[in-house]
Homo-oligomer: A and B are copies of this chain.
């Protein structure tokens, strides 16, 4: 993307305060998280192709810097929510690979007991609210998280992620107006990978400069971010989070990024609507992991061998998660009828009164 290309050389975001504050260990942590996500995704791809994972599998490979960069800034007061391409956000929020992989495998040990699948990872205890399949359906929920924080007087931020194709859904527009009108601490992060399935940004959206600029329609702040540079992701997200935290004002961030695989693994056209050159250019010149790896080596924070060791550990962690998932028990038929109503599950008086289910 010309945007990414042109901005790349301009500024060094390593020097921005939030990045200068990073210890070597923390920097390595960022690299580690990105590598973990990629290895997790590669393992899922393999087992999806082997028929061990059902439904859709939307890989995050290529976009790792977005979840890792943004969520690395989160405090225990901050919350996140995203769409179906959610493994990266889940892992970065602190979910472990086992529960995630088991969920993909549809096992009872999965984060959602095998009920949600790949599109629906959740970890509310880690402030991660999913994993949502209806395009832009999560955008009012993200608003609600911000509303809840403000209502309770908690100085937190809600990060709500969506794709470039999701911006044309009505629910997003309604959310933006409400966010600005009610002055809510929400940041909408558009992960712009250039395509919604096979449709390029240009074929799905009318806009002036960029998608984030639509924020102006609501007198809202916005910024454009080069996703291949995790320093930039952190620097610009930090500014938006401070705005949310201290001024209770929302922001749209548009982070340019790329997915290396198809829309989902079932996307047979992945190489038809994008040129091989485009894909190769990203992999070779803008990959957020190799870019950051090189950078950290340059900075003297890490050696190539250390980086490879981290990568190997991530590979092993993912392999172990597959074993865990594989050996875990499947849900039973009885499990189908659980987790529908809180009151029923908790066997309260309310849960025992009246007929809740209509089987036979």
Question: Residues on A close to B: CB < 8 A?
Answer: 168-174, 176-177, 180-181, 203-208, 213-214, 216-220
Contact = CB atoms under 8 A, between A and B. Distances in A.
10 A-B pairs closest in CB distance? A170-B170, A180-B206, A173-B173, A214-B217, A217-B217, A206-B218, A181-B206, A208-B219, A168-B177, A170-B174
Nearest to A209: B219
Given A170-B173, A173-B173, A174-B169, A208 B216 contact: yes
Contact of A207 (B168, B169, B204, B217): B217
What is the oligomeric copy number? 2
A216 B205 CA distance: 13
A213 B206 contact: no
Contacts of A206: 176-177, 180-181, 218-220
Nearest to A204: B181
Contacts of A207: 217-219
A181 B172 CA distance: 18
A207 B206 CA distance: 19
A353 to B, nearest CB: 32
Contacts of A181: 203-206
A4 to B, nearest CB: 22
Contacts of A173: 168, 170, 172-174
9 contacts: A168-B174, A169-B170, A169-B174, A176-B206, A177-B205, A180-B206, A207-B217, A207-B218, A213-B217
Nearest to A177: B168
Nearest to A202: B181
Contacts of A174: 168-170, 173
A220 B217 CA distance: 12
Contacts of A170: 169-174
A213 B216 CA distance: 9
Residue from A177, A208, A218 whose CB has the most chain B CB atoms within 10 Å: A177
Given A169-B170, A206-B220, A213-B217, 11 more contacts: A168-B173, A168-B174, A170-B170, A170-B174, A177-B205, A181-B204, A181-B206, A207-B217, A207-B218, A208-B219, A214-B217
